[in-house]
Amino acid sequence: MSNLQLRIISAVVLAAVTLGLTWLGGLPFRMLCAAMTILIFYEWTRMCRPVVATGLGLLPEALLLVFVGALVAGLPASWLLLLVAVMVVVTVVVASMHQTSMHQTGQWDASGLAYAAISGLSLALLRDGDHSGLVAILFLFAVVWATDIAAYFVGRAVGGPKLAPSISPGKTQSGALGGAVGGVVAGLLLAAAAGAGNLAVLGVVALVLSLVSQAGDLFESWVKRRHNRKDSGTLIPGHGGVMDRVDGLVAAAFALYVIGWISATADHPAQGLFPA
């Protein structure tokens, strides 16, 4: 089986599972977010930790499991955000008590905890269990997935100057522009199909999410390049690791969560953008 066939099959299976659990919402979707949080942190530490143990023992993993339990249990946003802050602070403080090499590794662990936890938290709280949450997540998917697809095909067809050659040599400025246009169009089509009335505002939100998604992709590329890795992992056949597939999505999810929080509440951010 060719690599392209593996990529297609993996993408179809992942999309089907993700959309099915998204439709269910509630506990099934929170469990998906919890699993994603664990896998992101696992891949992060495999990239960023040296071969030798961190010197922190299993402290970061234990802290993450506490957070994941709270996420699955459906604790309010205020508690989840507090847990994220505590995890990061505790890891940094404990790491600072070790020698320089362990201190640096501990900082990467702290960053990984924040990255993984905020990713899962944003998606879980955006979805919630109501219709507004379902539309918000589908809107997010539409924008991010269309951005990826349009950027790939426009970049290959048009070419031109590179977007960030020192970080990701394959990405072009034309691809980034095409991705942004594709993301906005897809987001507006989804919003219109869902009966949203604030299409002008959602068009701007879609543009922001598209740009943040591409920035999230570049950020993960920078982390991999910083640690001399081509892929974040090997879990997904033909695609690499989980982080390789969700880097743009989780960045955009956090952006949409913040926008929704400003518009509504931290516990029900989707209602600010897609009122029932």
Q: What is the pLDDT of residue 57?
A: 65
Would you say 64 and 113 are in contact if contact means Cβ atoms under 8 Å apart? Answer: yes
* Mean pLDDT value of segment 29-50: 91
* Residue 29, φ and ψ in degrees, nearest 5: -75, -35
**CA separation for the pair 22, 142 (Å, rounded):** 13
State yes or no: pLDDT of 157 exceeds 60: yes
Instruction: Identify the helix (H) or strand (E) that includes residue 2.
Output: none
Q: How far is CA 1 from CA 9, 230, 233, 242, in A?
A: 11, 22, 20, 21
Band the pLDDT of 2: cuts 50, 70, 90: low
Per-residue pLDDT tens digits for 214-250: 999 999 989 988 888 877 776 666 567 888 889 899 9
Query: DSSP letter at 200?
Result: H
* Residue 175, φ and ψ in degrees, nearest 5: -65, -40
Q: How far is CA 157 from CA 152, 164, 174, 210, in A?
A: 9, 18, 9, 20
Band the pLDDT of 94: cuts 50, 70, 90: confident
Amino acid at 11: A
Per-residue pLDDT tens digits for 120-155: 999 999 998 899 999 999 999 999 999 999 999 999
**CA separation for the pair 128, 126 (Å, rounded):** 6
SS3 170: strand
Amino acid at 142: A
Q: Is the dihedral of CA 49, 29, 180, 209 positive or negative?
A: negative
Query: DSSP letter at 264?
Result: S
Please give the model's pTM, rounded to 2 decimal places.
0.92
**CA separation for the pair 125, 127 (Å, rounded):** 5
More confident: 96 or 21: 21
* Residue 269, φ and ψ in degrees, nearest 5: -65, -30
Q: What tokens appear for 130 in the block? A: 């109501």
Query: DSSP letter at 55?
Result: S
